[in-house]
A and B are shown apart, each in its own frame.
Chain A
């Protein structure tokens, strides 16, 4: 059975890196596809527990998330299917569009913010 492929565009915010688009099979993860294409994305546990691989969904199937009232038109859970439970993400992260690329496979074409800076958005200094 031939599985479907989707175009996933990777963008590195605040870094001088070129945007890259890779084709990701429905049965492989974005991280695996990036590695297959020779692109280094950050990762740690590869089991969905550490958040090191976190990306943020910018656009899925042509629809951009709108920030109004925190309502987003992009359904992250519809755009990706997870191999296992994304433990590193809290509900507030999931609704804000964060995705764990080590365990997520696309179900549609999409654009993602990737790189180490995305992970650092998950938690901030609580005293500052």
Chain B
């Protein structure tokens, strides 16, 4: 079923002021002003890789402090198969389609990282979404792609998914395009533009897309092996694409300080050519921007997290910043250092000189807070999500089932948690909200892991402006 109710011949209107017909908000500022406080979250929840005989599921979490079921998982959308490893997901439409009359932000596209199966969930009823369609792995493999990762809607109602491997779980990866009836349209790019793939973000007004690199699925799926680092099997490059043509225009090798560049974000302002990427293994954050004179992109390391000594570890423990996001007003960069156990915020008013604003030491290997409401935290902060107004930061604790097992084996036994900090954007401070705790350790079939978080009406890691 299509979410486009009537065909629209309307030309994209870049001014948007008088022409906001579709889903989302006309500008990032409108999202801040018109967006309501998040009352629900959708959270990827998983059993893959455990002996629990149950499929992964999508949790609907109640975030309304006035509700009787605040901090509870109020609905679970169970998927038909085991073995998916739900990871990242996205909407069929976001603010980039706000000129598309009749298009609704209604369907969640939920891929299985391990299975390569793609689920389409109808979330018209925000509290009780329903599974609508399933694209089976064999259909995906026909395009010689596997391991779906980042889902973005693209402005004409279509959906683009970064795919990390070929049908066999080897390189190269690529991009799979779905049409607005949620059928595979084909490959988005001419095959062979890139080898490794991971996350991507696009800035349509600048006709640019940026993509990052993890590794071949067969490399990262079983777990993290230093041998693979030495063999050069992990990524360290950023690719800058011609968005219209679907071709790579420029590749930047970040070098050893840029190993495993994961989440990549442009600023929300559609004119901006500045962005950030977190190099997880090297524990650095890079700023990238387009050089006005040459028209080429540049990248520079702007934040460096030092490894820390720990009595129980043989070698200094890297921070492992695994997720970053930019507040809707483009003022702050938030991130999570999964191994150290830290969430942090930097003021990026001057993107080339981020200034540390605040951090919280919670969970992980060094966190000062190791339990909330007597619930032991078994891993560090990982996937983060911020309210549209920038006043509440939420996070979950699972990275990837096989990597969790290596670094935080207790997480599989106790399950993940979701935590929250209250943020004061004026002062640039964060405070852990100890009244807030969502516990995946209490799921009926057994403890589950929790990964990416989305709000029903747009969020800081999925909305893009045309």
A contacts, CB < 8 Å to B? 12, 15, 17, 40, 42-52, 54, 84-85, 87-90, 115-116, 119-120, 122-128
Please report the C-alpha to C-alpha distance between residue A43 and residue B315 in the assembled complex, in whole angstroms: 32
Of A17, A45, A128, which contacts B115 at CB under 8 A?
A45
User: How distant is the Cα of A120 from the Cα of B407 in the complex, in angstroms?
Assistant: 11
A93 (CB) vs chain B CBs: closest residue? B222
Partner among A44, A126, A127 whose Cβ is within 8 Å of the Cβ of B49: A44
Alpha-carbon gap, A50 to B317, bound state (A): 26
Grouping DSSP codes into helix (H, G, I), strand (E, B) and loop, the A interface class, with mixed when no group exceeds half, is loop
Name B178-200 residues within 8 Å CB distance of A.
Answer: none
Residue from the list A12, A49, A51, A124 in contact with B406, Cβ < 8 A:
A124
Name B315's closest neighbour in chain A (CB-CB): A127
In the assembled complex, 8 residue pairs joining A and B whose CB atoms fall closer than 8 Å, in A order, are: A46-B115, A47-B146, A49-B169, A50-B402, A116-B50, A123-B225, A123-B402, A127-B313
Please tell me if the beta carbons of A123 and B222 are within 8 angstroms of each other in the complex.
yes
CB distance from B455 to the nearest CB of A (A): 28
B378 within 8 A of A: no
Instruction: Name the contact of A47 in the complex, choosing from B169, B227, B312, B313 (C-beta under 8 A).
Output: B169
Contact of A44 among B83, B227, B313 (CB under 8 A): B83
Within the assembled complex, what's the spacing in Å between the Cα atoms of A124 and B224? 8
Q: Which A residues are CB-close (under 8 A) to B115?
A: 44-46
- The answer on a CB contact under 8 Å between B222 and A128 is no
**Contact between chains at B406 and A45 (CB < 8 Å):** no
In the bound assembly, the distance between CA atoms of A84 and B141 in angstroms comes to 15
B residues apposed to A, CB below 8 Å: 48-51, 53, 82-85, 114-116, 137, 141, 146, 165, 167-170, 217-218, 221-227, 312-318, 401-402, 405-407, 409, 412
**Closest A residue by C-beta to B169:** A49
What distance in Å separates the Cβ of A16 from its nearest Cβ neighbour in chain B? 11
With a cutoff of 8 Å between Cβ atoms, the chain A residues found around residue B85 in the complex are 44
| CB atoms of A51 and B314 under 8 A apart | no
Q: Which residue of B lies closest to A102 (CB)?
A: B83
Contact residues in A for B218 (Cβ distance below 8 Å): 49-50, 87-88
Residue in B closest to A40 when the chains form the complex, CB atoms: B53
List chain A residues, Cβ under 8 A from B314: 127-128
Those 6 A-B pairs whose CB atoms lie nearest each other, nearest first: A49-B169, A44-B114, A123-B223, A51-B222, A50-B221, A40-B53
A44 and B226 within 8 A (CB): no
Distance in angstroms from A65 CB to nearest chain B CB is 21
Residue of B nearest to A98 (CB): B222
CA distance A51 to B216 in the complex (A): 13
Complex CA gap A19/B337 in Å reads: 41
For A117, the closest partner residue in chain B by CB is B51
Contacts of A126 in B (CB 8 A): 224-226
CB <8 Å contact, B225 and A40: no
B78 to chain A, nearest CB (A): 15
Compute how far the CA of A51 lies from the CA of B169 in the bound complex, rounded to whole angstroms.
Answer: 11
Which residue of chain B is the closest to A126 with respect to CB atoms? B226
Give the CA-CA distance A115 to B171 in the complex, in Å.
28
Q: What's the minimum C-beta distance from B412 to chain A, rounded to whole angstroms?
A: 8
A87-B168, A123-B225, A123-B406 known; A12+B51 contact, CB < 8 A: yes
Distance in angstroms between the alpha carbons of A120 and B409 in the assembled complex: 9
Given contacts A120-B406, A123-B223, whether A46 and B83 have CB atoms under 8 Å apart is yes
Most interface-central of A15, A49, A119, A120 (chain B CB within 10 A): A49
Are A125 and B221 closer than 8 Å at their CB atoms?
Answer: no
When chains A and B are docked, how far (Å) is the Cα of A48 from the Cα of B402? 15
**A43 vs B217: C-alpha distance when bound (angstroms):** 15
Chain B residues closer than 8 Å to A88, beta-carbon distance = 169, 218, 221-222
Cα distance A63–B278 in the bound complex, in angstroms: 50
Distance of A62 from chain B, by nearest CB (Å): 28
Cα–Cα distance between A40 and B81 once the two chains are bound (Å): 12
> Given that A125-B407, A126-B225 are contacting pairs, would A49 and B165 also be in contact in the complex, using a CB cutoff of 8 Å?
yes
Q: Which residues of A contact B401 (CB under 8 A)?
A: 52
| Closest chain A residue, CB of each to CB of B114 | A44
Task: Report Cα–Cα, A123/B114, bound state, in Å.
Answer: 18
| CB nearest neighbor in A for B408 | A125
Nearest A residue (CB) for B222? A51
Cross-interface CB contact of A45 among B51, B221, B407, cutoff 8 Å = B221
Residue of B nearest to A87 (CB): B218
A52 touches B83 (CB 8 A): yes
Is the pair B222, A115 in contact by a Cβ cutoff of 8 Å?
Answer: no
Additional A-B contacts beyond A46-B115, A88-B169 (11; CB < 8 A): A15-B51, A43-B83, A45-B116, A49-B146, A49-B170, A49-B217, A51-B222, A52-B114, A124-B406, A125-B406, A128-B314
Within the complex, the shortest CB–CB distance from A126 to chain B, in Å, comes to 4
